[in-house]
């Protein structure tokens, strides 16, 4: 299962049924779980902790040194969960300091040329299109979709089930359940097709999410007043509570709102 033409440092820990193709590079201080596949010319660098069932394609660089002037050479970590697909030429930087790590959850799909910078946290079942990139300290919550060429600037957050269309650039947070489009990026509508397709969101809940975002983006009132009206007018389920908490605790402010 492991090609003699691959390089594996003697200190690396490799699980069961791992396939390592010719010319792959696995550094010291690396842990790879069971049933992973490492394709030719992929590099798994020091500080990487990888779960089970991951596939790393050609030319990917996993656990690269952070591109951060604050980095002083510490032994920091990149933590990857299970069943992720990481396609060609993806670059993922490990954390800058020992107090944090770059973290990738389970079941994510990173297409060709994606770059996740230092201390970025990605949840579960997210999709990153070709060439999508994050700056450092970004957060991407579960089931978010970033289209091809999307750029997230430093410390931005993307909410659950959000869809960011191709080529968008954001310096603010992108709230959950919406479609974000255009440059400058703004609210385009709710992600109703995906929400309905997955079967997790009944029609009434999707309608309530749409009503809530109409208060924020289409009623011409302040964000504070919009949130107050949402709590008064719309039944607050756990999904709506997560949405409101995301907005109320946004460190960068949300897209398309200037108040």
Residue 119 a catalytic site member: yes
Residue 19: alpha-carbon gap to chain centroid: 26
Residue 198's pLDDT is 73
Residue 257's pLDDT is 84
Evaluate if residue 259 carries a pLDDT over 70. Answer: no
Predicted confidence (pLDDT) per residue in 158-193, tens digit: 999 999 999 999 999 999 999 999 999 999 999 999
Q: Which of 53, 113, 136, 147 is catalytic?
A: 136
Residue 118 a catalytic site member: yes
Mean pLDDT, rounded, of the chain: 97
Residue 129 a catalytic site member: no
Domain boundaries, the chain: 7-194, 197-248
Evaluate if residue 6 carries a pLDDT over 60. Answer: yes
Round to whole Å and give the CA distance between 98 and 198.
38
Predicted confidence (pLDDT) per residue in 111-163, tens digit: 999 999 999 999 999 999 999 999 999 999 999 999 999 999 999 999 999 99
Spell out the CATH class of 7-194: mainly beta
Q: Which of 27, 119, 141, 173 is catalytic?
A: 119
**Topology of domain 197-248, per CATH?**
Udp N-acetylglucosamine O-acyltransferase; Domain 2 (1.20.1180)
Residue 258's pLDDT is 65
Residue 106's pLDDT is 99
% of the chain surpassing 90 pLDDT: 97
Q: Which of 118, 141, 147, 159 is catalytic?
A: 118
């Amino acid at each position: 299962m492991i090609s003699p033409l691959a390089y594996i440092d003697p200190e690396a820990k490799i699980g069961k049924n791992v396939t390592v193709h010719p010319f792959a590079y696995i550094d010291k201080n690396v842990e790879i779980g069971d049933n992973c596949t490492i394709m030719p010319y992929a590099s798994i660098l020091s500080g990487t902790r990888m779960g089970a069932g991951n596939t790393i394609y050609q030319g990917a660089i996993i656990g690269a040194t952070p591109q951060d002037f604050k980095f002083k050479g510490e032994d920091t970590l990149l933590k990857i969960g299970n069943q992720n697909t990481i396609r060609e030429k993806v670059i993922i930087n490990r954390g800058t300091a020992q107090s944090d790590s770059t973290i990738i959850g389970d079941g994510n799909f990173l297409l060709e040329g994606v770059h996740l910078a230092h201390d970025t946290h990605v949840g579960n079942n997210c999709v990153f299109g070709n060439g999508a990139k994050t700056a450092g300290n970004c957060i991407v919550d579960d089931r978010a979709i970033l289209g091809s060429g999307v750029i997230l600037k430093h410390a931005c957050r993307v909410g659950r089930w959000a869809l960011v269309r191709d080529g968008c650039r954001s310096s603010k947070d992108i709230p959950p359940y919406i479609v974000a489009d255009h440059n400058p990026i703004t609210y385009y509508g709710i992600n109703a097709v995906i929400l309905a397709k997955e079967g997790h969101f009944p029609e009434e809940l999707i309608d309530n999410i749409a009503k809530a975002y109409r208060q924020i983006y289409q009623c011409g009132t302040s964000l504070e007043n919009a949130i107050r009206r949402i709590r008064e007018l719309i039944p607050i389920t756990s999904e709506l509570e997560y949405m409101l908490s995301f907005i109320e605790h946004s460190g960068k402010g949300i897209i398309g709102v200037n108040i």
